[in-house]
Structure 1
């Protein structure tokens, strides 16, 4: 019992001590809180002052940054304006140079146009003069060919006689040939051969065709008699080889007559009679009538229409003469 009372006494004493401590702790806590409040206020004032200082610093930095940006903007504008002015001056200078070059080019083009106009005018006059000269030359060539043909009227050519077969006396050989092969009852004086010779050309090789014989008769009538007699006989042979009698044509007429070769071959194949009148014409005897062609080109064109298989040919006359009006110089238009 006493022990329990002592324990209870002890417990009460302990409680009183605990209550006193709690009260003391409470008192001390209030004092601490007051101190903490004072310290918090002091700390807040310090923080506010720091914030205000930081805010002031930010404002100062913003002001400085704005000033720097304004200065940079002004400097950039000045630099851009300077470069723009320099670029504008450069462009203006280039335009000025280009304008000068264009003006110089215009002057040169004008000079070239003037020279071209002068050349066109000169070429027109030169072309007309050249056409006139060529026309006169053609007329003179035709007259010369006609005179040459007339000078050869009494001449006769014999083709196909082997080189050297005439021996040393060509005139005697030709006289005997005409008498024997053609059967003309003419004496040496009746033939009236003034001169005879081989064609004036180099002696051909052995395998080449022989040169023709040229006979000049005193009278044209005798020459025509010999020639037509040979033509009527159709085939005249000497030593087994066929020989041909023909007029002595100038070289220009011979070339014109050679153009008819393909046409004449076709007519012979079709057994159509024809003649080759002087100087270089073609006379064809068709069943429905006779047709005379002035050139081989006209003959080939008409025969093709009639169903003959002939090729187109060109005359020796240049087509230039047929195109005088179209080939003359024409001045270019200003457009």
Structure 2
């Protein structure tokens, strides 16, 4: 039967009064159907017939549906079983991981506690060390000041013990023979002039500088002479400055006051500057222990530092570039 006609007949059948389905009108319905067949018209299909046909058509699908339901039930049961197994395995893994992490966390807490304790000990030690260092710095500054005072005092005492000494430089080795004290007296009288002394020069002792004896061709050792009277020492140094260049047996000799090595190093810092001042004909004096006094333009300028003195000279143009070249 054509689908469109079936729908048409179905619609007509549904439009029939609901009483058609009752037992009272069953025969009337059949009669009308037969009449329709006899007349050649298509008889309408009842709802019950349609339902029966639909059920018959759906019968194979219902069987397949039952089979699918059974398969789905089996699959559901298997999946549920697998999920249960996976859940138990996951729980076991999570528990093992949790136990492992808890152990690691406990180790971390222990290490952190030890580190905190160590840090506190280090902070305390550092604080104690800082306090001790501060105390040591204060002690060092105090000791440094005391050391400087003691050094200056020792230097002064050493120079005081040398205040009656003179240093003779340039005398050849062996010129004194075996009597260096008598040689020193004779040397001073000969070089400075015997007529400059009212009485023989009194010398307590004399000796060569206490360094290794030089080899042939090397500079001879200085002679240290201790005079009995300080006034004679001052007189000898004055005569030496006034005479200028001194010679003994054809060689130049020099007479200096005997000073300590510390004062000698302090005075040596002015050596180059003194040479420049002499070249420029600028008057200067070097006083004990190492104080340079420059006389220029009618004024006296005192310096204890060679660099400051040179800076002053250059800034005031006391020395020209030609003087420095010379």
Q: Which of residues 56, 75, 82 in structure 2 aligns to 1:65?
A: 75
Larger RCO of the pair (alpha carbons < 8 Å, separation 6+): 1
TM-score by length of 2: 0.71
Q: Are the aligned partners of 2:185 and 2:202 in contact in 1 as well (CA < 8 Å)? A: no
- How far the C-alpha of 1:304 sits from its partner, in A, is 5.5
**What residue number does 1:272 align with?**
282
Q: Secondary structure at the match of 1:206?
A: coil
Q: Find the counterpart in structure 1 of residue 140 from structure 2.
A: 130
| 1:228-247 to 2 correspondences below 5 Å | 228-247=238-257
1:78 lines up with 2:88 in the alignment: yes
Q: Report the CA distance shift for 1:171/1:188 in structure 2 as closer, same or farther (over 3 A).
A: farther
Aligned counterpart, 2:324: none
1:171 corresponding residue in structure 2:
181
How many angstroms apart in 2 are the aligned matches of 1:125 and 1:277? Answer: 40
Gaps of 5+ in 1: 1-47, 310-335
Structure 2 unaligned spans of 5+: 1-57, 321-326
Taking the aligned partners of 2:176 and 2:253, their CA distance within structure 1 comes to: 14
The answer for the alignment partner of 1:287 in structure 2 is 297
Q: Pick the aligned partner of 2:149 from 136, 139, 142.
A: 139
> Within 5 Å, which residues of 2 pair with 1:1-335?
56-185=66-195, 189-287=199-297, 289-303=299-313, 305-306=315-316
RMSD: 2.7
> SS where residue 283 of structure 1 aligns?
strand
- What do residues 96-125 of structure 1 show as CA deviations (whole Å, max 9, x unaligned)? 221221112111111111111112212222
SS in 2 for 1:185: helix
Instruction: Say whether the 8 Å CA contact 1:236–1:242 is kept in structure 2.
Output: yes
Kept in 2, the 8 Å contact 1:154–1:217? The answer is yes
CA distance in 2, matches of 1:78, 1:306: 101
Aligned length: 263
Partner Cα separation in structure 1 for residue 160 and residue 135 of structure 2: 37
**Aligned-pair distance for 1:132?**
1.9
How far apart, in 1, do the equivalents of 2:104 and 2:273 lie? 75
Q: Whole-Å Cα distance in 2 between the matches of residues 195 and 52 of structure 1?
A: 146
Partner of 1:322: none
Q: TM-score, normalised by structure 1?
A: 0.70
Offset of residue 186 of structure 1:
5.1
